[in-house]
Amino acid sequence: MALRPIDNALSIVPDGLRPKKQAKVSIQPQKKASEISVNDENKAPLPQPIDASVDYVASEDLKPFQDPESNIQSLVEGLDSKDWVKVCQSLNDARRFSLYHPGLLLPVLEKVMLVVVKSMKNPRSALCKTSIMAASDIFNAYGEKLLSTDSSAFDQLLLQLLLKASQDKKFVCEEADKSLTAMVNSIAALPLLQKLRGFVNHGNLRVRAKAAVSISNSVYKMGSEEIKEFGSVTLLQMASDLLNDRLPEAREAARSIVLSVYEAFTENEKLDTEEDWQSFCQSNLSMIQAQLMIKVVSSQ
């Protein structure tokens, strides 16, 4: 049975569809940038705004530093700034380091990730989107190395991306979806699934759905041996919860997970009949769960 990953916002975006030009967005900051805290989520904007702008620069339009060694210290200072526009600029510099000088950024990568997380929480859309774009470039540059950094930094980053992908502000949501796609494409499925599995029971139904999509796309990448190593039964139990979810996105992701496990099962065991599948499900799952798995496969 030939399977395809589910078609949703996290589907892989071909390089040709990425924007080729910088999109300039006008920003109305507070009167005094020095009074702004990067993590101030509650203050209303002050009167008499000054003009400022933030460029959303596509990854392919970012350039390497001519003298990266002399710029790394100013990067750290910029990330600590209380001026949110300066933080945006520093996050774009962090993207340049991750793409062209990853070795220089690696010693301060954990700090960068924490600033990215902090900026995602900021109510300013420009700062939030810039931080999400930085997360995408960091995923593409470092992949599984991110899992060897402070685990809490990656966990916080993953949570914030799921939350931003679940919100109503479309341009932020779409950017977060792209970042989650970059994460799935750059990190091996097994360790990533260990991080994602806890979110299928998250209290926010949109977070559950976004996590389910990332899980299904990760499982689709796995071979039969990897699925067996992670646990076919574990994946089916995970999917059974999502099959009854309120959001169609989560239910479709769950069906994709089940079909990936079914394909791996028939390939690994040299089986091709639904009877063997039914026996496997009934032997390892509850009656209700087994019925759900059987129904998904028989409906294909």
pLDDT digits (tens, 9 = 90+) for 126-173: 999 999 999 999 999 999 889 876 678 999 999 999 999 998 889 999
**Nearest of 220, 141, 223, 149 to residue 183 by alpha carbon:** 141
Other CB atoms within 10 A of residue 9 CB: 16
Q: Read off the pLDDT of each residue in 271-278 and give the average, rounded to a whole number.
A: 78
What is the pLDDT at residue 49? 38
* Percent of the residues in the chain that have a pLDDT greater than 70, as a whole number: 80
**Tokens read off for 185:** 């494409």
pLDDT computed for residue 10 by the predictor: 40
Q: Is 143 exposed, middle or buried (0-12, 13-18, 19+ CB in 10 A)?
A: middle
pLDDT of residue 148: 76
Q: Is 45 helix (H, G, I), strand (E, B) or coil?
A: coil
Output the average pLDDT for the chain.
84
How far apart, in whole angstroms, are the C-alpha atoms of residue 80 and residue 76?
7
Q: What is the pLDDT of residue 147?
A: 86
At residue 230, does pLDDT exceed 90?
A: yes
What is residue 200's three-state secondary structure?
helix
Share of the chain above pLDDT 90, in %: 67
Q: Which residues pair with 27 in a beta bridge?
A: 52
pLDDT band of residue 267 (cuts 50, 70, 90) is confident
Q: Is pLDDT of 15 > 80?
A: no
- Give the pLDDT of residue 35: 38
Domain regions of the chain by residue span: 21-187, 188-300
What is the average pLDDT across 36-49?
A: 40
Q: Does the predicted TM-score (pTM) go above 0.85?
A: no
pLDDT of residue 254: 97
Q: Who wins on pLDDT, 193 or 26?
A: 193
Contact criterion met (CB below 8 Å) for 81 and 105 = no
Q: Is the pLDDT of residue 71 over 70?
A: yes
Predicted pLDDT at 173: 94
